[in-house]
């Protein structure tokens, strides 16, 4: 079984999550080759074949042209799986490649299981188990679902090229305007999740953050509900944080949230459900009603 892993580079640097493709391939037990539109300066730490297209010529983002480059690598490698990250690059490019190959696509894979792959559904409350049919399948992997794994040795470079332009002209990157605090620098973060119930309960969580001399963070539903602004969100579409202490209040531990905080030094989770997935990454899981436990903890800390 062989997987062609589609790495990503941005502004001349390999994106860290490209190594999650290797972690996935190990879990699958597949042989690998990688594909990258980048430069020799952005090569992964990996000893296998890397199909390398020159980003200076092909652009870091050019879906039509990159599709043709991936197809050229598929032609040479004949993989069973073409694997992208579920990133803005992957979710744009993977369907184009799947259509061109007339291949099944499984989007947002979070686990390899007996007889197939799992992907989330029903707002992350359930998982589909699917097994793509056909000679080749296209997958995208949820960021953070598989551990990053660096390879050893020097890549065996296979230059790859394709003719023509694309129908999208990439104009450049524009940094997002970030409101509020920079959570990436915080040593302590106390985050509120949907489990706090309502906006009026936020001051209770903010009070704990203050008592711990930390910053206030949030899961996405708290931001989507307008209880806090987007700058407070932790996760794949929010900030990636690595504080010494992370306190998750009423947060279930969806993969997209975990991806943003799993590098925290010590994680305390307060959840009324002892089976909540956050328990898998928490050093301490307090099984309690967050609105009862947090004020009691804050009062103790104040003493
Ligand atoms: C493409 C994409 C990107 C995403 N990006 C992000 C992201 O960047 N960040 C992010 O956070 N999410 C993100 N999400 C959403 C993510 O999948 C989850 O839906 C979200 O993280 C869930 O937030 P939550 O844990 O606060 O809410 P829920 O999943 O609803 O969990 C609430 C938790 O609170 C507990 N609870 C309820 N009441 C109480 C109580 N009284 N006391 C104690 N515990 C209680 C429940 O047991 C439950 O575990 C993304 C989703 C997608 C599809």
Domains in the chain, number: 2
Residue nearest atom 47 in ligand 1 by C-alpha distance? 273
Confidence of residue 291 (pLDDT cuts 50, 70, 90): very high
Q: Is residue 260 part of a domain?
A: yes
Task: Please tell me whether residues 140 and 13 are part of one structural domain.
Answer: yes
Confirm or reject: Cβ of 272 under 6 Å from ligand 1: yes
The domain boundary residue, chosen from 113, 144, 159: 159
Q: Is residue 166 part of a domain?
A: no
Q: What is the pLDDT of residue 303?
A: 87
Query: First vs last Cα of the chain: how many Å apart?
Result: 61
Task: Please tell me whether residues 7 and 147 are part of one structural domain.
Answer: yes
Tell me, in angstroms, the distance from the centre of ligand 1 to residue 71's CA.
37
**Integer Cα distance of 249 and 271 in angstroms:** 7
Q: The domain spanning residue 233 has which CATH number?
A: 3.40.50.1220
Q: The domain spanning residue 95 has which CATH number?
A: 3.40.50.620
Residue 178 has pLDDT above 80, yes or no: no
Task: Dig out the tokens for 229 from the structure.
Answer: 């602004």
Residue 165 has pLDDT above 90, yes or no: no
Tell me, in angstroms, the distance from the centre of ligand 1 to residue 29's CA.
32
Q: Is residue 27 part of a domain?
A: yes
Residue 176 has pLDDT above 80, yes or no: no
pLDDT: which is higher, 180 or 34: 34
Task: Please tell me whether residues 132 and 280 are part of one structural domain.
Answer: no
Task: Please tell me whether residues 94 and 19 are part of one structural domain.
Answer: yes
Confirm or reject: Cβ of 239 under 6 Å from ligand 1: no
Task: Please tell me whether residues 26 and 122 are part of one structural domain.
Answer: yes
| SS3 category, 287 | strand
Dump pLDDT digits (tens) for 191-230: 999 999 999 999 999 999 999 999 999 999 999 999 999 9
Q: Enumerate residues 6+ apart whose C-beta is below 8 A from 261.
A: 189, 191, 234, 235, 240, 241, 242, 246, 248, 267
Residue nearest atom 18 in ligand 1 by C-alpha distance? 254
Residue 283 dihedral angles phi and psi, to the nearest 5°: -75, -35
Q: What is the pLDDT of residue 299?
A: 96
Task: Please tell me whether residues 51 and 98 are part of one structural domain.
Answer: yes
Dump pLDDT digits (tens) for 122-157: 877 789 999 999 999 999 999 888 999 998 889 999
Q: What is the pLDDT of residue 43?
A: 94
Task: Please tell me whether residues 263 and 206 are part of one structural domain.
Answer: yes
Task: Please tell me whether residues 28 and 105 are part of one structural domain.
Answer: yes
Confirm or reject: Cβ of 271 under 6 Å from ligand 1: yes
Dump pLDDT digits (tens) for 40-87: 999 999 999 999 999 999 988 899 999 999 999 999 999 999 999 999
**Integer Cα distance of 46 and 26 in angstroms:** 13
Task: Please tell me whether residues 135 and 199 are part of one structural domain.
Answer: no
Dump pLDDT digits (tens) for 239-284: 999 999 999 999 999 989 998 998 899 999 999 999 999 999 999 9
Residue 107 has pLDDT above 90, yes or no: yes
Q: Is residue 219 part of a domain?
A: yes
For a mutational test of ligand 1's pocket, the pick from 121, 221, 223, 277, i.e. the residue with the most ligand atoms closer than 8 A to its C-beta, is 221
Q: What is the pLDDT of residue 99?
A: 98
Task: Please tell me whether residues 126 and 220 are part of one structural domain.
Answer: no
Q: What range does the domain containing 189 cover?
A: 183-302
For a mutational test of ligand 1's pocket, the pick from 91, 254, 264, i.e. the residue with the most ligand atoms closer than 8 A to its C-beta, is 254
Task: Dig out the tokens for 186 from the structure.
Answer: 């915080």
Annotate 23-37 with b (16+ C-beta within 10 A) or e (fewer).
Answer: bbbeebebebbbbbb
Task: Please tell me whether residues 223 and 272 are part of one structural domain.
Answer: yes
Q: Is residue 165 part of a domain?
A: no
Q: Is residue 164 part of a domain?
A: no
Confirm or reject: Cβ of 90 under 6 Å from ligand 1: no
Query: Exposed, middle or buried, 135 (CB in 10 Å: 0-12/13-18/19+)?
Result: exposed
Task: Please tell me whether residues 13 and 147 are part of one structural domain.
Answer: yes
């Amino acid at each position: 079984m062989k997987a062609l892993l589609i790495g990503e580079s941005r502004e001349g640097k390999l994106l860290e999550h490209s190594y999650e493709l290797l972690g996935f391939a190990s879990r699958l037990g597949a042989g690998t080759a990688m594909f990258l539109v980048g430069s020799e300066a952005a090569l992964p730490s990996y000893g296998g074949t890397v199909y390398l297209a020159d980003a200076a010529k092909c652009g870091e983002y050019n879906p039509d042209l990159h599709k043709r480059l991936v197809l050229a690598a598929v032609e040479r490698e004949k993989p069973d799986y073409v694997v992208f990250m579920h990133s803005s690059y992957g979710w744009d490019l993977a369907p184009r490649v799947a259509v061109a190959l007339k291949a099944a696509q499984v989007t947002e894979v979070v686990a390899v299981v007996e007889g197939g792959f799992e992907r989330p559904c029903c707002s992350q409350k359930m998982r589909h188990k699917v097994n793509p049919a056909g000679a080749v399948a296209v997958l995208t992997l949820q960021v953070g679902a598989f551990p990053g794994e660096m390879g050893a040795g020097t890549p065996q470079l296979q230059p790859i090229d394709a003719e023509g332009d694309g129908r999208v002209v990439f104009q450049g990157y524009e940094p997002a305007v970030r409101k509020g605090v920079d959570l990436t620098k915080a040593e302590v973060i106390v985050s509120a999740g949907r489990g706090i119930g309502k906006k009026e309960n936020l001051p209770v969580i903010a009070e704990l953050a203050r008592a711990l001399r930390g910053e206030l963070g949030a899961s996405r539903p708290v931001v989507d509900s307008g209880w806090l602004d987007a700058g407070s969100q932790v996760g794949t579409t929010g900030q990636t944080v690595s504080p010494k202490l992370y306190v998750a209040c009423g947060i279930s531990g969806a993969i997209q949230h975990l991806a943003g905080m799993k590098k925290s030094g010590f994680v305390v989770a307060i959840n009324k459900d002892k089976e909540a997935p956050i328990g898998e990454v928490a050093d301490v899981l307090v099984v309690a009603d967050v609105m009862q436990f947090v004020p009691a903890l804050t009062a103790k800390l104040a003493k």
